[in-house]
């Protein structure tokens, strides 16, 4: 059985939310659940932050539902459109609407997420997935996230 790790990270590769799903699970539907679990404690007093300033994601997260969710939360979406989405919009002509805004300079920082995955894969048990049970594997992923936080 294969598994997939989904995570939200901050700008310094530190994991904020980690989820483990089946390997067949898509990336796009997970964004709603990852954002729902987000809670970053403030350095001063006050409630934890639950809304990021922007979300940088790859084309797998590009969907109307995700863009509407981010717009409703007043979060800037830095997600490129898939080629089929562009084609559908252009085929509809003026009824297709405007393309969503996309900041190319901000998108260049998306490699932070990939580097965070590489930090997780430095543990051989996570990279090869020796564990038979998903909750044991998730425990290893969470433990690795804790060590990444303690390292800095």
Summarised one tens digit per residue, pLDDT across range 27-74 is 888 889 989 988 888 888 888 888 888 899 888 889 889 999 999 999
Q: How many residues does the chain have?
A: 152
pLDDT value at position 72?
93
Place of tokens 């539902």: 65
Number of domains in the chain: 1
- Which token pair is 82? 């898939």
Bridge partners of 18?
A: 7
- Helix, strand and coil content of the chain, in percent to the nearest 5, comes to 45, 15, 40
pLDDT value at position 76?
92
Q: Does the pLDDT of residue 140 top 70, yes or no? A: yes
Domain residue limits at 115? 3-151
pLDDT value at position 1?
57
pTM for the model stands at 0.80
As a whole number, mean pLDDT of residues 83-98 equals 87
What does each C-alpha distance from 125 to 86, 109, 117, 138 come to in angstroms? 40, 28, 14, 11
């Amino acid at each position: 059985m294969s598994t997939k790790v989904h995570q939200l990270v901050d700008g310094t590769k530190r994991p904020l939310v980690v989820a483990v799903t089946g390997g067949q699970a898509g990336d796009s539907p997970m964004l709603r659940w990852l954002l729902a679990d987000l809670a970053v404690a403030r350095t001063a007093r006050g409630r934890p932050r639950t809304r990021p300033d922007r979300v940088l994601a790859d084309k797998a997260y590009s969907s109307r539902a995700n863009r509407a969710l981010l717009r409703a939360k007043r979060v800037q979406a830095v997600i490129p459109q898939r080629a089929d989405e562009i084609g559908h919009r252009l085929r509809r002509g003026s009824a297709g609407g405007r393309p969503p805004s996309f900041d190319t300079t901000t998108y260049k920082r998306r490699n932070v997420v990939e580097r965070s995955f590489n930090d997780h894969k430095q543990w051989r048990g996570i990279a090869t997935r020796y564990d038979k049970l998903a909750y044991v594997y998730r425990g290893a992923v969470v433990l690795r996230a804790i060590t990444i936080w303690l390292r800095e």
